[in-house]
Amino acid sequence: MAMDARKQRILEAIVALYSTDGEPVGSGLLASYFDMAVSSATLRNEMAALTRLGLLEQPHTSAGRVPSAEGYRYYLDHLLTAPGATTLPDSDKAQIDAMFDQMDIEPEKLARSAAQALAEAAGCAAAITTPQAPDLCIAHFEVVQVGRYSAAVLAVTSAGGVRTRVARVETGLTRTDATQIAQLLNSRLTFVAPQDMDPMLIASLVMAAGRRLAPVVLAAQALVATEPQAYLEGAQYLAQMPDVRQNLGTLLEVFSDSREALALLAPDGGKITAKLGTDTDPAMPGACIVSKRYLAGGGLTGTVALIGSTRMDYRRVIPVLDYFAAKLGHSMAGQSA
C-alpha cells in the first residue's frame, strides 16, 4: 500500500494534534482540523490504512489513533524535511540574536550559556558540545606567573582558540622559571596530536623542567589532551514530561561521560537528525533527540541538540534549533552574524 498525498497530510495532522495534548486523535477531531473538507468516514478508512502500514497505533479498541515509532520516523524523514516545511519568524530570530549578544565568547562558557538559552526557547532539554576538529593541536604555549606559587598555562590551538589551566608550584615560581618552561613546552609539545602524547614524552619533559616544575608540565599535558565537552541544560523540562521522565536518570548518567554524550548527540552529516529514543544507545523510549552540527570556522565543528518527548512540536522547535546552530557557529568563530 503506497503513501499518497492524502495519507501524508493525515499523518502530519495526527502528529500535530497528538503533540498538543497527548490524547489519541479520532476521526471527528481530524475532520475539524481539515475544516470538514474530508468526511469522517473517509478519514476513518485512511486511518485504518495507516494503521495497517504500521504508521499509526490504536491504544484502545474504541479510541482514536496515535503515531507509532515508524510513523514518527516517516514523518521526520519525509515530511518535516521538505523544502519550506519549517520557517522561523523574524521576531524569534531577533529574540535569539539578543540572547547571543549577552553571552561570553569563551567556548566553554558560550556553549553552556547557549544550551541554557536554547532550553528556555524550546521548552525542553538542550545540549551543546564545544567545537573540535580531528587534527586540532596546540600551536603555542605561554606560562604566566600568577602570584608566587601559581602559574597560568595558556595554550593557543591550531584553530586560534585559547585554553588555560592553572598549576600550583609548591616551591614558588619566578618569571625566569615561567619563561624557561614556556620555551621548553614550545620546543617539545606544540603540534603534538593527543594520541601521540605518550608517557615517555611527558616523563622526558618533567626531567628537563625539573621536579619542582612538574605541575606546569602536567597542566600543559592536560591542555593538549582536552576533549570536547557536552553541556546539558533544561533537564527540569524533562521531569515535567510523563513519557520521558523515566529516562531522566539514564540521560544524566550518559552526560556524566563526555564521550558517551558526544556519541549520543552526533548528527548524521550536516543535516538535522532526529533520533527516536527506541533507536538510541542506551534506549530511552518516549524520547527524541534532534541534533545538528554547527561550523565554528577553521575546520572546527560541534553539535547542538534538543531532547524531549517523541511528541514534541517539531515544526516549532526545529527552526529554533536550526537558527541556534547557525548563530552558535558564528559566535564560536568570533563573527557578529
CATH number at residue 65: 1.10.10.10
Q: How far does the chain reach from its first CA to its final CA, in angstroms?
A: 47
Query: In what order do the strands lie in the sheet containing 138-146?
Result: 138-146, 150-157, 162-168
Q: Is residue 209 part of a domain?
A: yes
Mean pLDDT of 322-337: 85
Q: Is residue 106 part of a domain?
A: yes
Q: Is there a contact between 86 and 319 (Cβ–Cβ < 8 Å)?
A: yes
- Which residue, 195, 224, 253, sits at the end of a domain? 224
83: pLDDT strictly greater than 60: no
What does the DSSP assignment read for 89-117? -HHHHHHHHHHHHTS--SHHHHHHHHHHH
Report how many domains make up the chain. 3
- Which residue, 175, 193, 224, sits at the end of a domain? 224
pLDDT value of position 336: 61
Lowest mean pLDDT among 74-83, 98-107, 248-257, 305-314: 74-83
Q: How far apart are CA 159 and CA 132, in angstroms?
A: 9
pLDDT value of position 77: 81
Q: 159-194, pLDDT tens digit by residue?
A: 777 889 999 999 989 999 999 999 999 999 999 988
- Whether residue 250 is found in the same domain as residue 160: no
Against a cut of 0.85, is the pTM above it? no
CA-angle at 305, arms to 301 and 310, nearest 5°: 150
Q: What is the mean pLDDT of the chain?
A: 89
Q: How far apart are CA 144 and CA 37, in angstroms?
A: 73
Domain extent for 70: 5-79
**Residue pointed to by grid coordinates 477531531:** 29
Mean pLDDT of 61-83: 79
pLDDT value of position 140: 96
- Whether residue 240 is found in the same domain as residue 322: yes
Q: Is residue 85 part of a domain?
A: no
Q: Is there a contact between 30 and 39 (Cβ–Cβ < 8 Å)?
A: no
- Whether residue 75 is found in the same domain as residue 96: no
- Whether residue 148 is found in the same domain as residue 24: no
Q: Is residue 337 part of a domain?
A: no
pLDDT class of 39 with cuts at 50, 70, 90: confident
Q: Is there a contact between 251 and 284 (Cβ–Cβ < 8 Å)?
A: yes
DSSP 297: E
- Whether residue 155 is found in the same domain as residue 196: yes
pLDDT value of position 297: 77
